[in-house]
């Protein structure tokens, strides 16, 4: 017991992620070593992903099949494909000390102190001169974020520190709900494989690097909302709200653009055995993300680069114990949104949808999608037998919807309605009825429309629900059409 107490005190004094054994069972390890620091550039190289393009990618075809994408920025010159990196956030136990270390302006040579840094958000960016397909435009900048953790071993003969990738967030069409997120496990192939959508260039995680997107395997969070990779979007059509397997084309190894992986990479032998024959002429240059703002770019590129924050990087945040994980959890608060709508079901109602656990959403365990509460209330004056009757309505349903972001979706809800009936000023009657409701909903992402100013209400979505409500149970005492118009994912 004394030994355990002494060991605990020692770990606390060290103030690091200490293991009581060699952490050989850690998942997603990309680096192990004796030195207590690593440069920004070294980290970017060992974590850098493969980019896997469709065989019909228009920019590949325009280059006669040669792998010249992703491209350098117009103000940047290069003979080979280029990928840019940015250390977005450093989560450290010692903010003043780390700030002092980061006074250097050369991002590639800055050092990360593995004794005090717990985690890092590492971004990779790739540029394309044009985006082809639905909503085509010039200057397309796509990105992924790697959530990286630092670990300190205890009494290991071969290494003192280890770096792991905890999760990969692949961005798609600028909408957080569409993100393809992979929680790294022991089946994850390194270097990471990222599928690049044909024409539109959205990014999608590919856990086992087989060139095929498998929902639930390659994406492990918000599976029904994840965009996947939809190569058919170059046709200008969405077809359906949900991802379908036929939307993604099978990737071929000759269309991979490889990172500048080195022979001492932990996963080099496995990587070489699988992809070594395709390496020649298919490697990108890894560069520091350029400074912004700058004078040598046009207005459209200026607008796109402005959205890639922070511009003064890295940001430094102080955390304690498992604080890095808590910080990552806070970043998901947008998925706890409240939705507001006008509702008409025979009465004029206000409808409010809230997460199932109030502060935390509930993802359906087997089917995916979301389970949430819908509350609605209002009043109705009706004429019955030449007499006016005043009804106050309060309803509560538990609703399941397959997703929170598809443009066309279904929903089903079960609950109750509470009616307060005033037949005269001195008498009040209360009735409670079972309620069932089902219908469809259509959402519009207003992010790229003239109505994007409505985002100030805290959501990218406005939409309409149309359904059928039954009041009572065997027999129904009332049935009718329901319509809701409002803001929010639900």
Please indicate, yes or no, if residue 321 is contained in any of the structural domains. yes
Vertex 208 angle, CA 156 and 196, to 5°: 120
Largest interatomic CA distance in the chain: 92
Please list the helix, strand and coil fractions of the chain in percent, rounded to the nearest 5, in that order. 20, 40, 40
Last residue of a domain, one of 314, 331, 348: 331
In this structure, are 299 and 393 located in the same domain?
A: no
Please indicate, yes or no, if residue 301 is contained in any of the structural domains. yes
DSSP reduced 3-state for 148: strand
In this structure, are 258 and 395 located in the same domain?
A: no
Please indicate, yes or no, if residue 267 is contained in any of the structural domains. yes
CATH number, domain containing residue 441 = 2.40.160
83: nearest Cα among 102, 70, 65: 70
Q: Measured between alpha carbons, how far is 310 from 56 in angstroms, rounded to an integer?
A: 34
Please indicate, yes or no, if residue 2 is contained in any of the structural domains. no
In this structure, are 46 and 136 located in the same domain?
A: yes
Q: Measured between alpha carbons, how far is 85 from 44 in angstroms, rounded to an integer?
A: 7
Q: Dihedral sign, CA of 137, 140, 146, 147?
A: negative
Please indicate, yes or no, if residue 150 is contained in any of the structural domains. yes
Print pLDDT tens along the chain (490 aa): 454 344 444 444 444 444 445 656 788 999 998 888 899 999 999 999 999 999 989 887 666 556 689 999 999 988 889 999 999 999 988 666 665 666 556 787 888 888 889 999 999 999 999 888 877 888 999 999 999 999 888 777 788 899 999 999 999 987 888 899 999 999 999 999 999 999 899 999 999 999 999 999 999 988 998 999 998 888 777 777 788 888 899 899 999 999 999 998 999 999 999 998 888 878 999 999 999 888 888 888 998 899 898 998 998 888 876 777 777 776 666 556 788 899 998 888 999 999 888 878 888 887 888 999 999 998 876 655 556 566 788 999 999 999 888 888 899 999 999 888 765 666 677 788 999 999 999 888 776 667 666 666 667 788 899 999 999 888 888 899 999 998 877 7
HSE of 177, CA atoms in CB hemisphere, 13 A: 22
pTM score, whole prediction? 0.85
Number of domains the chain contains: 2
Question: Which range marks the domain in which residue 93 is found?
Answer: 12-331
Please indicate, yes or no, if residue 383 is contained in any of the structural domains. yes
Cα 404 from chain centre: 13
- The pair of structure tokens assigned to 457 is 């209400």
In this structure, are 323 and 358 located in the same domain?
A: no
Q: Residue for token digits 């639930």?
A: 216
Neighbours of 90 (CB within 10 A): 28
Vertex 73 angle, CA 70 and 76, to 5°: 115
Please indicate, yes or no, if residue 1 is contained in any of the structural domains. no
In this structure, are 262 and 348 located in the same domain?
A: no
| 464 and 454 Cβ atoms separated by less than 8 Å | no
The phi and psi torsions of 5 (rounded to 5 degrees) equal: -65, -45
Last residue of a domain, one of 298, 331, 364: 331
Please indicate, yes or no, if residue 72 is contained in any of the structural domains. yes
């Amino acid at each position: 017991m004394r030994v355990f107490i002494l060991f605990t005190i020692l770990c606390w004094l060290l103030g690091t992620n200490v293991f009581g054994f060699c952490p050989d069972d850690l998942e997603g390890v990309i680096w192990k070593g004796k030195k207590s620091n690593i440069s920004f550039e070294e980290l970017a190289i060992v974590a850098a992903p493969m980019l896997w393009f469709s065989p019909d990618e228009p920019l590949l075809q325009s280059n006669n099949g040669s792998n010249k994408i992703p491209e350098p920025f117009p103000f940047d010159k290069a003979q080979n494909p280029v990928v840019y990196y940015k250390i977005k956030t450093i989560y450290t136990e010692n903010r003043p000390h780390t700030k002092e270390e980061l006074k250097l302006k050369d991002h590639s040579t800055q050092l990360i102190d593995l004794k005090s840094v717990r985690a890092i958000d590492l971004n990779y960016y790739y540029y394309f001169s044009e985006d082809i397909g639905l909503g085509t435009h010039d200057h397309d900048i796509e990105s992924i974020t790697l959530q990286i953790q630092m670990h300190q071993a205890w009494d290991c003969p071969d290494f003192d520190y280890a770096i792991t990738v905890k999760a990969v967030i692949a961005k798609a069409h600028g909408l957080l709900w569409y993100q393809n997120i992979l929680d790294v496990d022991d089946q994850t192939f390194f270097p990471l494989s990222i599928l690049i959508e044909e024409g539109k260039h959205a990014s999608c995680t590919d856990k086992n690097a087989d060139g095929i997107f498998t929902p639930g395997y390659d994406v492990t969070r918000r599976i029904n909302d994840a965009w996947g990779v939809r190569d058919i979007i170059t046709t200008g059509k969405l077809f359906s709200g949900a991802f379908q397997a036929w939307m993604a084309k099978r990737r071929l190894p000759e269309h991979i653009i490889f990172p500048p992986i080195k022979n001492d990479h932990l996963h080099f032998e496995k990587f070489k055995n699988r992809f070594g024959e395709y390496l020649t002429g298919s490697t990108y240059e890894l560069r520091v993300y350029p400074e912004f703002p700058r004078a040598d770019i046009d207005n459209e590129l200026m607008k796109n680069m402005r959205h890639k924050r922070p511009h003064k990087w890295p940001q430094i945040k102080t955390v304690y114990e498992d604080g890095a994980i808590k910080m990552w959890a806070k970043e998901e608060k947008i998925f706890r949104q409240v939705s507001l709508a006008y509702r008409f079901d025979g009465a004029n109602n206000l409808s409010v949808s809230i997460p199932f656990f109030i502060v935390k959403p509930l993802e359906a365990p087997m089917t995916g999608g979301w389970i949430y509460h819908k509350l609605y209330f209002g009043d109705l004056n009706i004429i019955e037998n030449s007499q006016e009757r005043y009804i106050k309505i309060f309803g509560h349903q538990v609703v399941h919807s397959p997703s929170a972001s598809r443009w066309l979706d279904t929903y089903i809800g079960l609950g109750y309605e509470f009616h307060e009936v005033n037949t005269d000023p001195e008498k009040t009657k209360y009735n409670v009825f079972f309620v069932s409701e089902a219908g469809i909903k259509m959402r519009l992402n207003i992010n790229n429309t003239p109505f994007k100013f409505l985002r100030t209400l805290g959501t990218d979505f406005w939409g309409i629900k149309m359904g059928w409500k039954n009041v009572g149970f065997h027999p129904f005492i009332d049935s009718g059409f329901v319509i809701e118009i409002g803001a929010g994912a639900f």
